[in-house]
């Protein structure tokens, strides 16, 4: 265990002892660690109000906090409470808080435990990477018992003792390979029914992505589910006659949700970038180019990895319009009857609503951003596509949204009392094609961003949706696209950040901006709110943006005056954990 450190030195001196650390602070830190209790299954099912124990706080991925000390009446008095410098890198981390201790996975595989009321470092652990491992972006970590579970850049999952930072177990998931042909562990692990469930990203890796289940106590792998079917398995004949080694995609780079009543883990999968072999169907009976299980919802049994059901939202996606994002179980009225459903939307901001137990399609909700889907079969949800869903060899076509979204990893939040959903959206289209122009898709189809017609320079949008009535309520629009997830609270305020370095609190009923601040860098991460020593805090990481933020920074800067415009004038202060509280 490393000694207590001052917050201001963490970014440079992580893992080193500062001799000048106050004795009283050390005593407080030691007392916090000694008082730290195990995270039980009961806590994960119903987290203490003051804690944030997992990626989106609860298994259903709502991103909602029952805290209301900060509310619509006083949020204007929010100020920065403390700030901890972090290491440079590309990441999108989620701080977790339990019993007044914050756990954060910094860039370069450094796990930090801090006093959640001050940022004082209690211990840190830096994983020594295997030779040849490169950096990778991650969403965060998981807590269970006395363990902090962290994924690493060199394809390992490690359990650390939450009081000391010492290694309990260390599991190798796959061989270390770098670049687009190497696996990465971007998704946050989920703890469900005694298992660590981890999705594996596989951008251009032959044979695609997979999901694993590890015993939470020992780290031993119990099962592995492949998102691209193996020869002879269901779905094998949906790859246009390609051999397994020629198939790729089906990445699992977003964390799952879990329904304890049904004992089902819900994952979303990505499409493939190798779209050229799927562009035109071959004429062979029994073979399709649907490419299962890309752009699908997978419902798995956490103990065994058994596939309970699947639903493919879009077959043969030629534009990288992922349907990999959060799956949220919720009770909603369907034909006059309350049913437990799973809702999910891909980059098109088009929601499919499925029965949570069976995967049966129920209905869809289109938020009005996309122009690719022409119609949806009301019985099956099968999409009839417009002509622009297929790249042309001769012409460019307006495709909405842009291949980077639409909506993206900046996930929504749901208020469980009001059943209002808050979704951050980027209003951007693209001139898609012609093929043969290079780029990320193997067809070489051009993906050139262009404003949504009539958007008038408002690229950022936060949309409130009444899930029970399916009504679009208010929306908030601004120039800068969103770059963080949304956090909703019982105080009637929702929090989110944007590309222009701003972090805001809005009234959940009206969308009115109640408070905003400039963070100093791009807030590309998952904010949380928690309570320590009787005070509510709001925390987020800034300055570790991924390719998503870089893509939109280039596009929006070009569309708003270039280097002389508002985006071109931004100055980055560097990576940091920033925490706010009432005075």
Rounded to 10 degrees, what is the CA torsion of 162, 163, 164, 169? Answer: -30
- Kindly list the averaged pLDDT for each block of 10 residues, start to end, along the chain of length 583: 38 36 68 97 98 98 98 98 94 96 94 97 94 86 98 96 97 77 92 98 93 98 98 97 96 98 98 96 96 98 98 97 97 97 98 98 97 98 97 97 95 98 97 94 96 91 98 97 98 98 98 98 97 98 92 95 94 97 94
Query: How far is it, in rounded angstroms, from Cα 406 to Cα 371?
Result: 11
Q: What is the pLDDT of residue 519?
A: 98
Residue 169: CB partners within 8 Å, gap ≥ 6? 158, 159, 218, 219
Residue found under tokens 């930090």: 112
In the chain, which residues fall in CATH 2.140.10.10? 52-94+394-582
Query: How far is it, in rounded angstroms, from Cα 274 to Cα 203?
Result: 9
Are the C-beta atoms of 463 and 423 separated by less than 8 Å?
yes
The two tokens of residue 353 are: 């609503």
Query: How far is it, in rounded angstroms, from Cα 266 to Cα 263?
Result: 10
Are the C-beta atoms of 59 and 192 separated by less than 8 Å?
yes
Query: How far is it, in rounded angstroms, from Cα 221 to Cα 219?
Result: 6
Strands 383-385 and 373-376: antiparallel
Are the C-beta atoms of 529 and 53 separated by less than 8 Å?
no
The two tokens of residue 305 are: 């990895």
CATH classification of 173-324 is 3.10.580.10, yes or no? no
Residue 62: CB partners within 8 Å, gap ≥ 6? 56, 328, 413, 414, 415, 416, 488
Q: What is the pLDDT of residue 456?
A: 80
Query: How far is it, in rounded angstroms, from Cα 514 to Cα 512?
Result: 6
Which of 504, 501, 424, 486 minimizes the C-alpha distance to 460?
424
Query: How far is it, in rounded angstroms, from Cα 210 to Cα 157?
Result: 15
Rounded to 10 degrees, what is the CA torsion of 309, 314, 315, 318? Answer: -150
Enclosing H/E stretch for 450: strand 447-451
DSSP letter (8 states) at residue 153: T
In the chain, which residues fall in CATH 2.40.10.480? 173-324
Q: What angle do CA 21, 23, 26 make, to 5 degrees?
A: 75
pTM beyond 0.85: yes
Q: What is the pLDDT of residue 569?
A: 95
Query: How is domain 52-94+394-582 classified at the CATH fold level?
Result: Methanol Dehydrogenase; Chain A (2.140.10)
Query: How far is it, in rounded angstroms, from Cα 447 to Cα 546?
Result: 19
């Amino acid at each position: 265990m490393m000694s207590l450190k001052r917050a201001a030195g963490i970014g440079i001196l992580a893992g080193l002892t500062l001799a000048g650390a106050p004795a009283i602070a050390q005593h407080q830190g030691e007392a916090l660690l000694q008082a730290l209790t195990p995270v039980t299954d009961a806590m994960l099912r119903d987290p203490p109000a003051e804690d944030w124990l997992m990626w989106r706080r609860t298994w259903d991925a709502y991103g909602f906090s029952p805290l209301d000390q900060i509310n619509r009446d006083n949020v204007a008095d929010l100020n920065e409470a403390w700030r901890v410098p972090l290491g440079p890198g590309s990441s999108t981390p989620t701080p977790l808080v339990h019993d007044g201790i914050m756990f954060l996975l910094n860039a370069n595989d450094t796990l930090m435990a801090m006093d959640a009321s001050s940022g004082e470092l209690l211990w840190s652990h830096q994983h020594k990477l295997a030779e040849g491992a490169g950096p990778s972006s991650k969403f965060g970590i998981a807590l269970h018992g006395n363990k902090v579970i962290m994924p690493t850049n060199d394809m390992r999952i490690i359990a650390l003792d939450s009081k000391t930072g010492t290694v309990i177990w260390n599991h190798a998931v796959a061989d270390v390979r770098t670049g687009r042909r190497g696996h990465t562990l971007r998704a946050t692990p989920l703890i469900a029914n005694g298992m660590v469930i981890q999705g594996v990203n596989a951008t251009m890796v032959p044979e695609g992505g997979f999901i694993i289940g590890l015993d939470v106590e020992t780290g031993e792998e119990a099962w592995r589910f492949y998102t691209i079917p193996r020869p002879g398995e269901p779905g094998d004949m949906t790859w246009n006659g390609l051999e397994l080694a020629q198939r790729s995609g089906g990445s699992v780079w977003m964390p799952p949700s879990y329904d304890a009543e049904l004992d089902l883990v819900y994952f979303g999968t990505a499409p493939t970038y190798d779209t050229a072999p799927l562009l035109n169907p071959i004429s062979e009976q029994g073979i399709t180019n649907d490419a299962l299980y890309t752009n699908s919802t997978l419902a798995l049994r956490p103990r065994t990895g058994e596939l309970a059901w699947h639903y493919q939202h879009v077959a043969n996606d030629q534009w990288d319009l992922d349907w990999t994002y959060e799956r949220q179980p919720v009770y909603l009225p369907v034909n006059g009857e309350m049913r437990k459903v799973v809702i999910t939307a891909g980059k098109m901001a088009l929601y499919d609503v499925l029965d949570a137990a069976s995967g049966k399609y129920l209905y869809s909700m289109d938020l009005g951003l996309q122009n690719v889907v022409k119609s949806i079969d009301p019985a099956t949800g099968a999409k009839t596509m417009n002509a622009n869903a297929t790249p042309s060899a001769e012409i460019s076509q307006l495709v909405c949204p842009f291949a980077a979204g639409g909506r993206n990893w900046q996930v929504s939040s749901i208020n469980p009392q009001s059943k209002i959903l808050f979704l951050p959206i980027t209003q951007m289209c693209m001139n898609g094609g012609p093929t043969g122009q290079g780029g990320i898709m193997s067809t070489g189809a051009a993906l050139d961003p262009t404003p949504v017609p009539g958007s008038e320079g408002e690229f950022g949008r936060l949309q409130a949706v009444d899930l029970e009535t399916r009504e679009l309520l208010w929306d908030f629009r601004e120039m800068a696209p969103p770059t963080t997830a949304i956090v909703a609270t019982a105080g009637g305020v929702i929090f989110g950040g944007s590309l222009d370095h701003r972090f805001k609190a809005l009234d959940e009923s009206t969308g009115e901006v109640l408070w905003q601040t400039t963070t100093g860098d791009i807030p590309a991460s998952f904010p949380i709110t928690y309570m320590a020593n009787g005070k509510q805090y709001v925390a987020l990481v800034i300055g570790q943006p991924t390719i998503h933020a870089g893509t939109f920074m280039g596009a929006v800067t070009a569309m708003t005056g270039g280097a002389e415009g508002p985006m071109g004038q931004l100055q980055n202060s560097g990576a940091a954990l920033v925490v706010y509280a009432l005075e």
